[in-house]
Amino acid sequence: MKLKIVVPIVVALIAIILGVSVFQGVLNSPTPETQHLYSVNVAFPNVQFKEPVGIYAADDQSNRLFVVEQAGLIKVFENNESVNTAAVFLNISDRVISGGELGLLGLAFPRQFNESGFFYVYYTTDNPLRSIVSRFSVSQTNANQADVNSEEVLLQVGQPFSNHNGGQISFGPDGYLYIGLGDGGGAGDPLGNGQNRSTLLGKILRIDVNSASGSLKYSIPRDNPFVGNSQGFREEIYAYGLRNPWRFSFDPTLGLLWVGDVGQDRIEEVNVVKIGGNYGWNIMEGSSCYSPPLGCNQTGLSLPIWEYNHSLGYSVTGGFVYRGAAFPELVGAYVYGDYGSGRIWALRYDGVNRTNSELAATGFHITSFGLDQKGELYVCGYDGYIYSLQRSTA
């Protein structure tokens, strides 16, 4: 994802310089529709946020929503259209470096959140530049406030450049914490991190945060694909060959892991990620050869289930498989969007066939999608508002 810094022109220039996706894929590519069946409305008109990059529910039956602001704040508020204030749940702006693609980028609540009070965040910091995954605790006296002094750093990953940080963290159906890391930045993956299994960059990681192992503050699940290897591969790796996974999610019914991976200068892609899979970067960009020094040997690579070109957007924002009640016609569809164009699509995939339809054109930068505790969908706009999907009245 490419985050707006000042104005849309700056965003566009950054996108060109840093190489986000611009090419129409060879798969069944989406076609812009002349009339949309859906639109988006501001869901909470009386509350606005500064550079929000994520919206989350704790799944604790509290009917609360949490919004992550890039500079290092998490806000919490009741999921009610008339709400007019959002409390500061956590403020770690003193330890976060933000701007461009840096900042507080991820939040995850475990299933035992009600009992443990633990939650997890992903952010970038400097001196040296690195990504951090930490655990915090909720205050014992105020459920709407975290204990800012409770931080326990679980994982630190050095970042060679300021872009392609990934930032998504999420607990899977297996109870393990999944972490998305970009390739470390720089056009074309100059350090070759995507295909290098000795580094955590360009990967989806999976760790067990409920137990420690040796010098680690977490343990490695026994069925991670590279456990016990003798080649020096990092055992935290769940899947690799990713450029900049910007938002992933699990289908709560089928358990599939859906990932939106931001492209270089031709293709944006959506992957259904499986354990041990190699998703091609930087041998491939989407389903096309990228022509790196590695050549274009596609043996063992998993190609995207969907891709699209720069005429439709330049930075994919991964979404969710919809399982809510408000839109029965969308149940089972993967709803996702594009940060650059503001488009929202619904992708259906049965393991073989795929169909994609454009739902809405929002007119703002989509940084993330989120679900409330009922499974209803929200859209996070970098303009400071949280939106909900509506059937179009036009």
Q: What is the pLDDT of residues 114-155, one digit of tens each?
A: 999 999 999 999 999 999 999 999 999 999 999 999 999 999
pLDDT digits (tens, 9 = 90+) for 348-385: 999 999 999 999 999 999 999 999 999 999 999 999 99
Pairwise CA distance, residues 259 & 168, whole Å:
10
Kindly tell me if the per-residue pLDDT of 2 is higher than 90: no
Q: Which one-letter amino acid corresponds to residue 116?
A: S
Average pLDDT over residues 314-322: 98
Q: Mean per-residue pLDDT for 260-288?
A: 96
| 163, pLDDT greater than 70 | yes
Q: Which alpha helices (DSSP H) does 169-275 contain, by range?
A: none
**CATH homologous superfamily, domain 8-391:** TolB, C-terminal domain (2.120.10.30)
pTM of the model: 0.92
Tokens of 82: 């008339």
Q: Is the distance from CB of 41 to CB of 387 less than 8 angstroms?
A: yes
- From 245, 218, 384, select the one nearest 318 (Cα to Cα): 245
Measure the CA–CA gap between 157 and 211, rounded to whole angstroms: 20
User: Taking 50 as the threshold, does the pLDDT of residue 251 lie above it?
Assistant: yes
Enter the tokens of residue 226.
């590279």
Q: For residue 12, is pLDDT > 50?
A: no
pLDDT in tens, 56-101: 999 899 999 999 999 999 999 999 999 999 999 999 999 999 999 9
Instruction: Compute the mean pLDDT over every residue in the chain, rounded to the nearest whole number.
Output: 91
Q: In whole angstroms, what is the distance from residue 266 CA to residue 165 CA? A: 20
pLDDT band per the 50, 70, 90 thresholds, residue 295: confident
Domain ranges of the chain: 8-391
Q: What mean pLDDT comes out for the span 160-165?
A: 96
**Phi, psi (5° rounding) for residue 27?**
-75, -175
Tokens of 152: 């326990």
Residue 18, pLDDT score? 37
Contacts of 132 (CB under 8 A, 6+ apart): 122, 123, 124, 125, 153, 155, 156, 157
* Comparison of pLDDT for 48 and 26, the residue scoring more: 48
Q: What pLDDT shows up at residue 192?
A: 95
Give the sheet arrangement for strand 354-361, strand by strand. 316-321, 334-338, 343-349, 354-361
Structure confidence at residue 238 as a pLDDT band (50, 70, 90)? very high
Share of the chain above pLDDT 90, in %: 88
CA distances to 153, 179, 240 from 280, rounded to whole Å, are 31, 18, 8
Structure confidence at residue 393 (pLDDT): 75
Q: Is 341 helix (H, G, I), strand (E, B) or coil?
A: coil
Q: Which two tokens stand for residue 75?
A: 């806000």
Q: In the predicted model, what is the mean pLDDT of residues 38-52?
A: 97
Cα–Cα dist 385/77, whole Å: 13
